[in-house]
Every structure is written in C-alpha cells, then in structure tokens.
Amino acid sequence: MSIAESETYKGHEIEIKYDESPESPRNWDNICIFHVAHRNCSFGDVNHSNSESIHSAVEKARKQGDIVLPLYMYEHGGITISLSPFSCPWDSGQCSFVVIPRKKMLEEFGKKAFTKKLKERAIKCAKGEVETLDTYLRGDVYGYVIDDDDSCWGFYSSIEDVMCEARSEVDGIIKYNIKKHCEQLKKWIKNKVPLSVRISLEV
C-alpha cells in the first residue's frame, strides 16, 4: 500500500496509507437516492441506461413530494462530483440527480409534516452524502498504521484529519502504557522487587 504521509509523533512512527479496497458509501444506510445516467460511470444507487429512464424516475419522485437536486460531474483523468456546476464547460456537466425521499425523511426524524426546517435538514444530508461519495470517487480514502502494528482503515477524509486521529491513538497508547506500568510498579514495590530487575517504561 502506498504511503500518503508519515511522521514520528512522541516516539511512534505513523504512516498514512491509501485504502486500496474501500467500500462504496452507497452501500451504507443512506437517506438519498442517487440516479445516474452516464455511459462510462455507474456509481449511483440506480443507474439508468438512457435519459428517458432517469427523467421518468425524477418526475415520479417530484410527484411524490420528494426533493430533487441536480448532480454535476467533472471528468478529467479522474472523477469528482458536486451539487454545484463546475466551471469547465468541456469536461463537466450534469450527469445525474439526487432524490431525497419525503417519506424517508419523515420516518428518519419522526416527523409528520415535511416542514421548511426538515427540508433544510434534508438538503444538508444530501450535501454530506455527495461529499462522502466524491471523496470515494477521488480515491481519498485512507488508513493509518502505527509502528507497523496498530492500524485503522476506512477514513473518508483528508490526510490531515486522519493524521489527527492517528496522533490521538498514539496518545491513547501512551496513556494506557503508563497506566499499566504504574500498576506493575506498585506490585514491584509491594513485593520489594530489586531496581536492577525492574523493566523500564517504553511509551
């Protein structure tokens, strides 16, 4: 696995690596439904073979009172998506729609009416799901390895955020080691173990 960044933190080696087998966030328990109609891409929850099919699905969603948002894609060596249009007119354009089901939102938040406040919350959910999927499509999914031993994967975030998580884990390891050492030290003192055979603390 290729290393994205590394550093030594409080005596521990941290390596941030690319997650080579991340799970698509569309496999998670999401609120939105992504409808995609693109000849080369099939990252949606529903992938349509033609424009007629996707527009029919969108029209049905609107009749049900669902929120429908346009989804734009920029494709140039890689893929990135957004709810807002990209500036490049040649390699970008609208490729799909994001549908926020009215019924799902009411059930999810225990409401009876699709109020303005709930609609704003729905759009916020959509933005979050788009950002996470965009991170996945761009390949910005990471994991960290500490001292070639402890590791954690599946961070759909920036390298800086993952490094912060890794440092926090190191702090936890150090705190745990100090606690265990203090407990052992008390036992040594109680049992009058000579200093020459006591093991020094390595954090």
Q: Say yes or no: 157 and 127 in one domain.
A: no
Question: What average pLDDT does this structure show over 151-172?
Answer: 96
Q: Phi, psi at residue 74, to the nearest 5°? A: -115, 125
Q: Which domain holds residue 184?
A: 3-21+143-197
Q: Say yes or no: 77 and 147 in one domain.
A: no
Name the maximum alpha-carbon separation found in the chain: 83
Q: How far is CA 179 from the centre of its chain?
A: 33
Q: Say yes or no: 183 and 88 in one domain.
A: no
Residue 72 CB coordination number (10 Å):
17
Domain boundary among 87, 122, 138: 138
Domain total in the chain: 2
Amino acid at 61: A
Residue 199: pLDDT over 70: no
Amino acid at 39: R
Q: Say yes or no: 77 and 105 in one domain.
A: yes
User: What percent of the chain lies above the pLDDT cut of 90?
Assistant: 72
Strand arrangement, sheet containing 3-9: 3-9, 12-18, 141-146, 150-156
pLDDT in tens, 103-142: 999 999 999 999 999 999 999 999 999 999 999 999 999 9
Contact 32, 100 (CB under 8 A): yes
